[in-house]
Structure 1
Amino acid sequence: MRPGEGQQQQRRPWELGMDTRWVPGSFLTPKGEDSEEDEDTEYFDAMEDSTSFITVITEAKEDRKAEGGTGSSSVDWTSADNVLDGASIMPKGSSKVKRRVRIPDKPNYSLNLWSIMKNCIGRELSRIPMPVNFNEPLSMLQRLTEDLEYHHLLDKAVNCTSSVEQMCLVAAFSVSSYSTTVHRIAKPFNPMLGETFELDRFEDMGLRSLCEQVSHHPPSAAHYVFSKHGWSLWQEITIASKFRGKYLSIMPLGAIHLEFQASGNHYVWRKSTSTVHNIIVGKLWIDQSGDIEIVNHKTNDRCQLKFVPYSYFSKEAARKVTGVVSDSHGKAHYVLSGSWDEQMECSKIVHSSPSSPSSDGKHKTVYQTLPGKLLWKKYPLPENAENMYYFSELALTLNEPEEGVAPTDSRLRPDQRLMERGRWDEANMEKQRLEEKQRLSRRRRMESCAAGCGAEAAEKESDGYVPLWFEKRLDPLTGEMAFMYKGGYWEAKERQDWHMCPNIF
């Protein structure tokens, strides 16, 4: 069965307006980044070695015998019972603010897809003006914030005394960010340079989140989150996308950092590549593929995750994710399994051994494990979601008007607001106006920089523009330069002093 079959039938792309999904975060191999070789079969080859291990479930009694009565395994597993059990259950926060539960239904607009896309093959899509018919009424900054939907996994992880147990929850959180993409085949709005988005949900979610668009070409957003439960997350994501004819590749670049204040455990990872298939003919469907390594830089624990690409010839389930959590000595402690659109489980390893060689001489590791425990399960979609861009409960609230936000906030973007209200013709006119205003601002910056810095320096987009709330620093863990939060936003909001904000809308 192909991905998407057995679910509600998706319309063809020219009926949908080429609704393609852009997902933040990526793990890239050199081939995946820019390869033109064998593009038609790259995601369809048989995945005979898609999983490098085999798991065998055992009982707790066998566990103690297999470990030779050391007792360490049963102690760890009891500890896991306390934290990992019920990790998938979301504690419902008590908010005094009543959030909206629906938006206007998506209108039925038709669009000649091929007339637009035939000139886009092999090009970077962020440089090509697109009508709002291709979009969902959220910006990339809001979509990046939506990755926090399952923040309770990190709230749980704070209480872990075992770093390998904590790694299981961090891995489940990293996978959960893809759970809405199986239906979300529309692209978010590419933010204006200097656009921001805040999520101030201390009361019910226990966190504050801020995103800022720090570069326009290439599109790049910086993000910082602080949770009152004892963790913080930050990232800079740069989106690269190419239309290949049969499919669209979305390759967000950048490292994601997560730090727990009490323990000092500091995790870094990158996410998988997203691919939208059957752009011209057939049913649209999206897949995630790639290998992710999550590293705890304090303990050197590691989690190797594999997003198994769908293949016509594979017996593997669609959207499958597998992984192994190992300590600093390379000893495997947990096997992770599940799918990026539904749920993830972890199983404690009690014994491992190499398997007999296969016909081609390859060995797989056999892990004997205890029964799996559910780490994360996707929330059901809201009623009528199919007519509301398949938004989740959180996504429906992200563009809700809110007082006191910065004048650069995505909620105040006029073309996006008009699109949400179903006035797409007006939205397209506003989008053209905003893009021309942005081009004019860029020309003025370049002219100013050329006068003060010289023509050579003025060729760089970044010259002449400095983000308000983030500054570029050297990331000591990755060795890359990245934009990091420098502070001041929430203080400015408290004073309602936004004099420093550019007029972008």
Structure 2
Amino acid sequence: MSEPKTPTPTPAGDTYKGWVFKWTNYIKGYQRRWFVLSNGLLSYYRTQAEMGHTCRGTINLATATITVDDACNFVISNGGAQTYHLKASCEVERQRWITALELAKAKAARMQAESDDSGDDFSPTSNPVVPGQGGGSQNSEVQSALRTLGSKVEDLSTCNDLISKHGSALQRSLSELDSLRLTGEAGDKIRQVTERATLFRITSNAMINACRDFLTLAQAHSKRWQKALQAEREQRVRLEETLEQLAKQHNHLERAFRGAAQANATTDNKSSTGPGKGEASDEDDDNEFFDAMEEAPEFITVPADPQFHKRSSSNVSGFNSEMCPDDQSLNEEPLAMNQESPSELVPLKKRRTRIPDKPNYSLNLWSIMKNCIGKELSKIPMPVNFNEPISMLQRLSEDLEYHELLDKAAKCQSSLEQMCYVAAFSVSSYSTTVHRTGKPFNPLLGETYELDRRRESGYRSLCEQVSHHPPAAAHHVISDRGWTLRQEITVASKFRGKYLSIMPLGTIHAIFEKSNNHYTWKKVTTTVHNIIVGKLWIDQSGEIDVVNHTTGDRCHLKFAPYSYFSRDVARKVTGVVMDKDGKAHYVLSGTWDEKMEFSRVMQSSRGGENGTEGKQKTVYQTLKAREVWRRNPLPEGAETMYYFTALALSLNEQEEGVAPTDSRRRPDQRLMEDGRWEEANAEKQRLEEKQRSARREREREAANQRTASQSEEDAPHDTYKALWFERCEDPITGEQVHIYRGGYWEAKERGSWEGCADIF
């Protein structure tokens, strides 16, 4: 039996109700209880039926403290014997409770203070609320604010009178001292004090005049402001009523449209469809309507009529007849056709499953970050306390965590089916970031990283840092299973005070050998929240367009930004796979941290124009969703190992035969992994200074070349060139990028690394 959905707060009486898990004891642990927040009091019951007769406990929020433990847990205590340890079902639900509790606490404390100071018998229920308007609590808050402003204006007027009175008395006393005609040092001191008092009197008079002007203006405009505020309140109520009417009209139109479509389909197929199967229930309509109203999606999906499971695609009006048998099998058998044979997996060696636990070092974030606002993160000397013990090149290699998706895509006969796997692969790379708040090491110029999994997984990966300012890394992967992946990523980042925005710039390419399909896409923006205060958390937001440049197929993916007030699932991703003519063939949905599903589109149609934003929304009738990708579980103890995945734990493992510039050989990163952070910080500064010295030497060589050639245009300003990648124009995007020139794996086989620079 599913849990009841927690209702949203209702303005009348500030009531909030819902199920929350409450800690009882060490034997029973957390137990589900029904909590009710009303009029500044938080009460709980075992069941909803108990609300009428048995309350199990109550806390007055006016004197309570509310603290957050982690993503789902929070504690409420009144400083005495009452302490509630609570756990919400998810982070979104916890934040809704915290928001409701904080608002209720602030209001309860304000009411208590007003009652103590003025003796007014004011309560939230003293102002009746008009049904549908929800204006009672807002009106009381406005009246309270006006009373507070009025008292402050009176205080200002009193201070004005006192300053005038005491200033005059001080001036008279100083004049009397001056009349004593004292000589010598005492006379000088008196004259000095008199001069300072005169300056103070001039300043005080200026302030008194400004205060008087302010008081006059405040009194003159007070009534005008109250009238304007009342007009705004009335206009808001009218807008709410209008919005409600539009929502109802939208709901009725949507029901009428679907009912007509289902009725027509049922009429055409009475012989093959049982009675009632084509009808839409009111409950389903309500659920779809509210989702559409709240999140305003670009499209709506509804279950396809059962006729589409039986009828041929050529006989169905509006069905994408270009679908081939491979498209149909994709929905009939969940990924069975592309599963790998266990005999193909040949483990090369047993990889490590643990690294040393992360030390618990304290750090004053503000002392470091307050000087970083608005600067490029790559140009800020950061201690390793902010890092995780892998480099950005290794983080790029983590994109291959779910390389099986590309293996399966390479076997697809249909480009549209292949697009589903490529799109899922583009989403899967973000699943490793959900708990990873540490910053990877900025690679040194010329640093490389290889990931050779040819025996186990059929691919070889190579990354090289090809530029330092701006920092850019080139990545090339070749797989024996028929695909190639390449990318050049430049990371732009800005610290904004409360959050950090990381914008990856560059294009990712996936090329399939058998079909010659060439796909490209870009990464979305990563945001790290609560940089200064609170628990760090990661969000991904933006849009991705996966384009097949060979066939013209396209998949538009949308990463919804996290919202405290959204009822929808957190970290949601949606997308539609379309052919070159714009016909939808598949709908993708899921979350970037958990899983992705796809549904085959059987029919699409335009909805009405009464949507929440006045836009037409496409309605897709789809078959049952099938899972295309699911995140691998984290290894045991991951929370003490930087939340690394099983692949990430093996990335920095020592291996024989790698290049001397490989990230595994980087000493500061190795020291940090071993828990020797102070030594790692010192080593990090040494490496960065060595890199700066090498850069200055190259600039001197470039200057000598310019002098010799007597031409500023012909000679470069920096003579550095990447070792394994060559800068050229991308034939697909037209961008200036670095593409793998070859030779690395041959040099590894020979054990010859003469061309590698000494960077460590």
Q: Which moved more, 1:75-84 or 1:167-176?
A: 75-84
The residue correspondences of 1:454-469 to structure 2 (distance < 5 A) are 463-469=718-724
Deviation at 1:363, TM superposition (A): 1.4
The residue correspondences of 1:410-489 to structure 2 (distance < 5 A) are 410-453=663-706, 463-489=718-744
Of the candidates 71, 74, 92, which is equivalent to residue 5 of structure 1? 71
Aligned counterparts of 2:330 and 2:348: Cα–Cα separation in 1: 34
Structure with the largest fraction of helix: 2
Structure 1 residues 97, 83: closer, same or farther in 2, change over 3 A?
A: farther
SS of the equivalent of 1:141 reads: helix
Q: What is aligned with 2:758?
A: 503
Deviation at 1:361, TM superposition (A): 2.4
Contact 2:389 2:672 in 1 (8 A): yes
1:464-485 superposed Cα distances (whole Å, 9 cap, x missing partner): 1011000111012111100000
The residue correspondences of 1:13-24 to structure 2 (distance < 5 A) are none
1:181-220 superposed Cα distances (whole Å, 9 cap, x missing partner): 1100001000000000001110111100000000111110
1:326-385 superposed Cα distances (whole Å, 9 cap, x missing partner): 001110000000000000000000011111222542211000000011000000000000
1:368-409 superposed Cα distances (whole Å, 9 cap, x missing partner): 000011000000000000000000000000000000000000
Of the candidates 436, 443, 447, which is equivalent to residue 195 of structure 1? 447
Deviation at 1:59, TM superposition (A): 5.4
Matched, 1:185 2:185: no
SS of the equivalent of 1:184 reads: coil
Aligned counterparts of 1:439 and 1:328: Cα–Cα separation in 2: 49
Q: Which moved more, 1:461-470 or 1:143-152?
A: 461-470
Contact 1:83 1:156 in 2 (8 A): no
Contact 1:247 1:278 in 2 (8 A): yes
The normalised TM-score by structure 1 is: 0.88
Deviation at 1:231, TM superposition (A): 0.3
Structure 1 residues 449, 87: closer, same or farther in 2, change over 3 A?
A: farther
Q: What is aligned with 1:140?
A: 392
Q: Which moved more, 1:421-430 or 1:307-316?
A: 307-316
Deviation at 1:453, TM superposition (A): 2.5
SS of the equivalent of 1:204 reads: helix
Deviation at 1:167, TM superposition (A): 0.1
SS of the equivalent of 2:655 reads: coil
Structure 1 residues 77, 264: closer, same or farther in 2, change over 3 A?
A: closer
Matched, 1:271 2:523: yes
Unaligned stretches of 5+ residues in structure 2: 1-5, 7-67, 76-291
The normalised TM-score by structure 2 is: 0.59
Q: What is aligned with 1:119?
A: 371
1:284-343 superposed Cα distances (whole Å, 9 cap, x missing partner): 111101111000000000000000111223322210000000001110000000000000
What letter corresponds to residue 480 of structure 2 in structure 1?
A: K
Structure 1 residues 399, 80: closer, same or farther in 2, change over 3 A?
A: same
Contact 2:575 2:589 in 1 (8 A): yes
Of the candidates 44, 65, 80, which is equivalent to residue 330 of structure 2? 80
Q: What is aligned with 1:347?
A: 599
Contact 2:473 2:488 in 1 (8 A): yes
Contact 1:86 1:374 in 2 (8 A): no
Contact 2:293 2:612 in 1 (8 A): no
Matched, 1:304 2:559: no
Aligned counterparts of 2:625 and 2:514: Cα–Cα separation in 1: 28
Higher gyration radius (CA)? 2
Q: What is aligned with 1:54?
A: 300
Aligned counterparts of 2:337 and 2:397: Cα–Cα separation in 1: 21
Q: What is aligned with 1:29?
A: none
The residue correspondences of 1:100-499 to structure 2 (distance < 5 A) are 100-357=352-609, 358=611, 360-453=613-706, 463-499=718-754
Structure 1 residues 465, 360: closer, same or farther in 2, change over 3 A?
A: closer
Structure 1 residues 457, 99: closer, same or farther in 2, change over 3 A?
A: farther
Contact 1:195 1:213 in 2 (8 A): yes
1:221-278 superposed Cα distances (whole Å, 9 cap, x missing partner): 0000000000000010001110000110001100000000111000000010000111
Identity %: 64
1:6-44 superposed Cα distances (whole Å, 9 cap, x missing partner): 3899xxxxxxxxxxxxxxxxxxxxxxxxxxxxxxxxxxx
Deviation at 1:155, TM superposition (A): 0.3
1:55-100 superposed Cα distances (whole Å, 9 cap, x missing partner): 0123553355595625945835433158852589787633031110
What letter corresponds to residue 75 of structure 1 in structure 2?
A: P
Aligned counterparts of 2:630 and 2:74: Cα–Cα separation in 1: 21
What letter corresponds to residue 139 of structure 1 in structure 2?
A: S
Report the number of matched residues. 467
What letter corresponds to residue 304 of structure 2 in structure 1?
A: T
Aligned counterparts of 1:282 and 1:413: Cα–Cα separation in 2: 32
Q: What is aligned with 1:69?
A: 315
Aligned counterparts of 1:456 and 1:319: Cα–Cα separation in 2: 54
Structure 1 residues 201, 456: closer, same or farther in 2, change over 3 A?
A: farther
Q: What is aligned with 1:21?
A: none
Structure 1 residues 153, 83: closer, same or farther in 2, change over 3 A?
A: farther
Task: List, as ranges, runs of 4+ consecutive aligned residues in structure 1 with deviation greater than 6 Å.
Answer: 87-92, 455-458
Aligned counterparts of 1:79 and 1:269: Cα–Cα separation in 2: 27
Aligned counterparts of 2:741 and 2:73: Cα–Cα separation in 1: 45
Structure 1 residues 385, 133: closer, same or farther in 2, change over 3 A?
A: same
Structure 1 residues 473, 337: closer, same or farther in 2, change over 3 A?
A: same
Deviation at 1:150, TM superposition (A): 0.2
SS of the equivalent of 1:394 reads: helix
Structure 1 residues 316, 281: closer, same or farther in 2, change over 3 A?
A: same
What letter corresponds to residue 144 of structure 1 in structure 2?
A: L
Contact 1:450 1:457 in 2 (8 A): no
